[in-house]
A and B are shown apart, each in its own frame.
Chain A
């Protein structure tokens, strides 16, 4: 008897400890998410600018010591063709790739495992003063007249302010997130501009005007809208919305930022409606009655008394709506066309941050610069939504201070 009691007490103790630990589970989860996202993401700035495993070499008489990633890209795109643009001599840049070596020397001269290749490469570079050689570091050229260009790591400035997102370009991939960030903001903000008046209108209708019967019809409809999976919205957008947008606006393609905004607006509606409606309903009855007693009409009461009173709740609805829109992945990916360029107009294809992650992570080798760049995108998204969710909380708290 005594023994059983002790065992039970121990068991109870363990259970209570377990409860305490699991109380912190969401905190631990967030900590873990933050940790993994940021360690993977921050590693990007320890990655070299030039494609992994490669380096750039020049003749040692060349006064140029390093190149910016944009410059390297421009050279290999044949936009820069002369060394003097880069502060060197006035002579044409001769690009040399590893494949070119096989044109010059037959394979038999390079040794069985290409062990003679570095020396041959050194020879080529020494002979040609204006060469820019892009070679694997495994076969780093050997010779007195060879100079490796100083390999810098990817800089935060290039990442956060870069205007080009070309993650698979050689020899230098470009990871500029500006077009993605702007694409995300454009699509989300336009979505909100569409959804906000609509959502607020429905919220006002629901809380102030609708009869019980109408409310009982509308509320479940809104809940159902919230329940539809985003991939189904995306599918609907793809087969219905995209052709409609293309036809009515007479565009070459229907997959535009505007299509994405339209779809996101529909998806953000339930959030906006239910949060705003809660806020409106929380207006004390006495305030409405006071206004009505003063001779105001119902509509005057709504926009002079109820809406100002519910302002913080409505702001929270706006903020949460943005949060939902910014993080939405599948639906946006399916209807915006995903061109990773700086957005110029609403009627062009854009690419958002979540869509970029979803589309490219599968092809990015784990641990590479591309992979890390995508994780850093995840960090940006994470920070965005954290700021949004915390500010929504602060906004909706503000009201409590005022009224109590």
Chain B
């Protein structure tokens, strides 16, 4: 009897924990959606900030984030995919792969503010890019690398070995096999990784603080050596250091909602794709 009772108590507690976690998520999302939805309209998305960032829109921040996503992935995506191809297809199972994998894990665990420091020391100061889109993109790209490498490796792992063997048996070289057979088969999964890293890159604030982000710009950036505004930093500014914090609150809610929508859309899209692929595979 006692055994059963303790089991019941434990199960009830754990169930409550589960409910609590769901409640936390719902309250965070709900809070931002409820407060932000009334702010978002066409003007908010396409106008510049106005009157000390208390009215107007967040257009330059959206554009800046877009530039940063494109810039960082132009650099990180090919590099990450190639790195994964090397470790999975070429390197043996020895210490090299183990070391590389450990390095990838370690790179993923470095706090984002350290990336910011590094980006500032190397790209902004040493290479003299200044606060610029290119410095920010490279810094964010480094951050996205481990995500891309991991998902690509998973993707390559999921390609059955029989595909490779069939191609090799037909006389194709290893590189031809990879190019014509392995990568096309792994492509949907690789794209999933790309989408995930877009989500990651667009939400990061700490790495762009000292490498690209501008408090307020009167016009859009015109080149890769210009500063840019970005959504996460703009939210930080609106929340903590605007000229009139109370008056800019609605703007902050709206920015938070736009940011969350971008990030969550990417994550949902990725998990949707993954689920669909899993279903296809099991057929």
What residues make up the interface of A, taking CB atoms closer than 8 Å to B?
A: 12, 15-16, 18-20, 22-27, 29-30, 32-33, 36-37, 40, 197-198, 201-202, 204-206, 209-210, 214, 217-218, 220-225, 227-236, 238-240, 266, 269, 273, 297-300, 302-303, 320, 323, 326-330, 334, 354, 357-358, 361-362, 366, 374-375, 378, 381-382, 385-386, 388-390, 393
Contact = CB atoms under 8 A, between A and B. Distances in A.
A327 B121 contact: no
A385 B235 contact: no
A381 B82 contact: no
B28 interface: yes
B205 A228 contact: no
Interface in B1-36: 3-4, 6-7, 10-11, 13-15, 17-18, 20-22, 24-25, 28-29, 31-32
A165 to B, nearest CB: 17
Size bin of chain B's contact surface: 35 or more
Interface stretch (B44-52, B55-63, B162-170, B258-266): B258-266
Interface string B258-281: 011001101110010000000000
B267 A390 contact: no
Contacts of A361: 116-117, 120, 209-210
B111 interface: yes
Contacts of A33: 110, 114-115, 118
A249 B210 CA distance: 36
Nearest to B141: A29
Contacts of A26: 83, 100, 103-104, 106-107, 145-146, 149
Given A236-B32, A375-B117, A382-B110, A218 B264 contact: no
16 contacts: A20-B90, A23-B86, A23-B91, A33-B115, A202-B21, A209-B11, A223-B271, A224-B29, A227-B203, A228-B260, A235-B239, A238-B239, A273-B21, A320-B109, A374-B117, A378-B114
B71 interface: no
A220 B275 CA distance: 12
B139 to A, nearest CB: 11
A37 B252 contact: no
Interface of B: 3-4, 6-7, 10-11, 13-15, 17-18, 20-22, 24-25, 28-29, 31-32, 79-80, 82-83, 85-87, 90-91, 96, 99-100, 102-118, 120-122, 125-126, 142, 145-146, 149, 173, 175, 199, 202-206, 209-210, 232-233, 235-236, 239-240, 249, 252, 256, 259-260, 263-264, 266-268, 271
Contact of A362 (B10, B24, B210): B210
Contacts of B267: 223-224, 227
8 interchain residue pairs of minimum CB distance: A327-B111, A229-B203, A23-B86, A299-B7, A201-B17, A389-B109, A22-B82, A205-B14
A330 B205 CA distance: 7
A328 B199 CA distance: 18
B175 A366 contact: no
A157 B263 CA distance: 44
Nearest to A320: B109
Given A18-B82, A390-B106, A232 B112 contact: no
Q: Is the interface of B mostly helix, strand, loop or mixed?
A: helix
A188 to B, nearest CB: 11
Contacts of B146: 26
A357 B207 CA distance: 11
A228 B22 CA distance: 14
B44 to A, nearest CB: 17
Contacts of B106: 26, 30, 386, 389-390
A188 B259 CA distance: 26
A236 B122 contact: no
A25 B99 CA distance: 12
Contact of B111 (A218, A233, A326, A374): A326
B107 A30 contact: yes
A32 B126 CA distance: 12
Contacts of B256: 232, 235
A224 B264 contact: yes
Contacts of A198: 17, 20-21
B198 to A, nearest CB: 11
Contacts of A224: 25, 29, 264, 267
A330 B7 contact: no
A280 to B, nearest CB: 12
Q: Which of A232, A330, A381 has the most CB of B within 10 A?
A: A232
Contact of B79 (A22, A221, A233, A334): A22
Contacts of B233: 231
A230 B25 contact: no
A358 B209 contact: yes
A209 B19 CA distance: 14
B132 to A, nearest CB: 15
A385 B90 contact: no
Nearest to A266: B24
A297 B8 CA distance: 10
A302 to B, nearest CB: 8
